[in-house]
Chain A
Amino acid sequence: MSAPTLTAVATPTAVRLRDVRKTFRRRRREGRAALDGIDLDVAAGEFLCLLGPSGCGKSTLLNILAGFTSADSGEVVVGDRPVTGPGPDRGVLFQTPMLFPWLTTWQNVLYGPKSRGALTPAVRDEAAELLETVGLADARDAYPHELSGGMRHRAAFARVLINRPGLLLMDEPFGALDAITRAAMQRFLLDLWQRHSMTIVFVTHDVEEATLLGDRVAVLSAPPGGTKDVVEIGLPRPRRYEDTDTLAFVEAKRRIREVLER
Chain B
Amino acid sequence: MTTTAAVAAVAAVPEPRRHRWRRAGTGAASLALVLIAWEAAARVIGDAVTLPTVTETVSVLVRYLTETYPEVQGKTLIQNALISTARILAGFLLGSLAGLALGSAMAGSRVVRDLADPVISVIRPLPPIAFIPLFVVWFGIGETSKIALIFFGVLPIVTIATLGALDAVPDGLVHASRSLGASPLRTMLHVRLRAAVPGIITGARIAMGGAWTSIIAAEMIAATGGVGFLILQAGNYLQTPLIFSGIAFIAVLGFAFDGLLRLLLRLADPTVRR
User: What is the interface of chain A, defined by CB distance below 8 A to chain B?
Assistant: 66-68, 85-88, 90-92, 94-96, 98, 100-102, 111-113, 115-116, 143, 145, 159-160, 163
Known A98-B173, A101-B271; contact A115-B179, beta-carbon cutoff 8 A: no
**What is the chain B residue whose CB lies nearest that of A142?**
B270
The docked-state distance in angstroms from the alpha carbon of A160 to that of B268 is 25
Contact B271 A160 (CB under 8 A): no
Contact B271 A115 (CB under 8 A): no
Q: Which of A95, A115, A163 has the most CB atoms of chain B within a 10 A radius of its CB? A: A115
**What is the chain B residue whose CB lies nearest that of A29?**
B171
State the Cβ distance, A153 to closest chain B Cβ, in Å.
13
Of B23-31, B120-128, B148-156, B180-188, the one touching chain A: B180-188
Contact B172 A111 (CB under 8 A): no
> What secondary structure prevails in chain B residues at the interface with A?
helix
Give every chain B residue within 8 A of A98 (Cβ-Cβ): 170, 172-173, 175-176
Give every chain B residue within 8 A of A159 (Cβ-Cβ): 180
Give every chain A residue within 8 A of B177 (Cβ-Cβ): 100, 111, 115
1/0 contact string of B246-274 vs chain A (CB within 8 Å): 00000000000000000000001111000
Q: Known contacts A88-B179, A98-B172, A101-B270; can you find 6 more A-B pairs with CB under 8 A?
A: A67-B178, A68-B175, A87-B181, A98-B173, A102-B194, A102-B195
> What are 14 A-B contacts with C-beta separation under 8 Å?
A66-B175, A67-B178, A67-B179, A68-B175, A68-B179, A86-B178, A87-B179, A98-B176, A101-B195, A111-B177, A111-B182, A115-B182, A143-B270, A145-B271
Contact B181 A116 (CB under 8 A): yes
The listed residue (B181, B194, B270) touching A115 by CB distance below 8 A is: B181
State the Cβ distance, A146 to closest chain B Cβ, in Å.
8
State the Cβ distance, B23 to closest chain A Cβ, in Å.
22
Q: Which of B170, B181, B182, B197 has the most CB atoms of chain A within a 10 A radius of its CB? A: B181
Give every chain A residue within 8 A of B215 (Cβ-Cβ): none
The docked-state distance in angstroms from the alpha carbon of A150 to that of B181 is 24
Known A98-B170, A100-B191, A115-B186; contact A92-B181, beta-carbon cutoff 8 A: no
The docked-state distance in angstroms from the alpha carbon of A163 to that of B176 is 13
Contact B175 A112 (CB under 8 A): no
Give every chain B residue within 8 A of A112 (Cβ-Cβ): 180-182
Contact A94 B191 (CB under 8 A): no
Contact A143 B180 (CB under 8 A): no
Give every chain B residue within 8 A of A160 (Cβ-Cβ): 180
Give every chain A residue within 8 A of B271 (Cβ-Cβ): 101, 143, 145
Give every chain A residue within 8 A of B175 (Cβ-Cβ): 66, 68, 86, 92, 94, 98
**What is the chain A residue whose CB lies nearest that of B191?**
A100
State the Cβ distance, B68 to closest chain A Cβ, in Å.
48
Q: Give the 8 A-B CB pairs with smallest separation, nearest first.
A: A115-B182, A88-B181, A112-B180, A86-B178, A98-B172, A86-B179, A143-B270, A116-B181
The listed residue (A66, A102, A113, A163) touching B270 by CB distance below 8 A is: A102
State the Cβ distance, A130 to closest chain B Cβ, in Å.
14
State the Cβ distance, A148 to closest chain B Cβ, in Å.
15
The docked-state distance in angstroms from the alpha carbon of A12 to that of B103 is 43
Give every chain B residue within 8 A of A90 (Cβ-Cβ): 179
The docked-state distance in angstroms from the alpha carbon of A113 to that of B191 is 15
Contact A100 B173 (CB under 8 A): yes
Give every chain A residue within 8 A of B191 (Cβ-Cβ): 100
Contact A102 B181 (CB under 8 A): no
The docked-state distance in angstroms from the alpha carbon of A111 to that of B179 is 11
The docked-state distance in angstroms from the alpha carbon of A115 to that of B197 is 20
Q: Which of A113, A145, A160 has the most CB atoms of chain B within a 10 A radius of its CB? A: A145
Contact A92 B179 (CB under 8 A): yes
Contact B172 A96 (CB under 8 A): yes
Contact B180 A115 (CB under 8 A): yes
State the Cβ distance, B11 to closest chain A Cβ, in Å.
19
The docked-state distance in angstroms from the alpha carbon of A113 to that of B178 is 12
State the Cβ distance, B199 to closest chain A Cβ, in Å.
13
The docked-state distance in angstroms from the alpha carbon of A115 to that of B184 is 11
Give every chain A residue within 8 A of B194 (Cβ-Cβ): 100, 102
Give every chain B residue within 8 A of A88 (Cβ-Cβ): 179-181
B 159-206 contacts with A by CB, 8 A: 170, 172-173, 175-183, 186, 190-191, 194-195, 197
The listed residue (A67, A85, A94, A143) touching B176 by CB distance below 8 A is: A94
Give every chain B residue within 8 A of A96 (Cβ-Cβ): 172
**What is the chain A residue whose CB lies nearest that of B175?**
A68
The docked-state distance in angstroms from the alpha carbon of A88 to that of B187 is 14
**What is the chain A residue whose CB lies nearest that of B269?**
A102
The docked-state distance in angstroms from the alpha carbon of A67 to that of B176 is 11
State the Cβ distance, B171 to closest chain A Cβ, in Å.
8
